[in-house]
Structure 1
Amino acid sequence: MSKLDAEEKEILDAFESGAIKRVKNRAREIAHHRKAAEATFRKDSRINVRISSRDLRALQKRALSEGMPYQTLVSSVLHKYAEGQLTERKVSKR
């Protein structure tokens, strides 16, 4: 077995101690979550956005550090914002 990080070890310990139980209808739950994931990540529309080359380079750099294509990062940020999971941060004026 590979080494577990702290979070993985905590989950494994909780499962082994009985604090975490398997869901009753596993197949139905998996199907439900798979359907939700497919609907969330379905790419059925295309947009074109003009941004500064500086912002594009920053997005590409951030995506590279996250290990994903920059288009995926942009799509994820837009999705989170649209769902209300990402909000505008107020910047105080100095």
Structure 2
Amino acid sequence: MAIELARFTVKDGAEQKLVTERPAMVQALRRRFSGCLAAYLTKEDDGSWLDIVLWRSREEAEQAAREVDSVPECAAWFGHIAASGGLRHVEVVDAWNEAHDSSR
């Protein structure tokens, strides 16, 4: 598995649209890229945002990053972003998930 980390700021007055349009954008992303396993939108204390997406593999994450602008709902959602703070992918080398915890 791989995690995609995308840091950004939002255009003035666009936060509500960013959040409201998020479910449709994620649904379109998942339809186009089956390797997308989960997505978490977070807001940091300084007002910036961090989008965290879990992918089945790093290769699928990198392919999606190259092609995501071809998904209309994603391209429209990106229009709410004022500035990108960068995109990076990290490999998951160990994981724990309460839903799959067999130690209980």
Greater strand proportion: 2
Question: Over alpha carbons, which structure has the higher Rg?
Answer: 1
Higher relative CO (Cα under 8 Å, sequence separation at least 6) belongs to 2
TM-score norm. by structure 1 comes to: 0.26
TM-score norm. by structure 2 comes to: 0.25
Greater helix proportion: 1
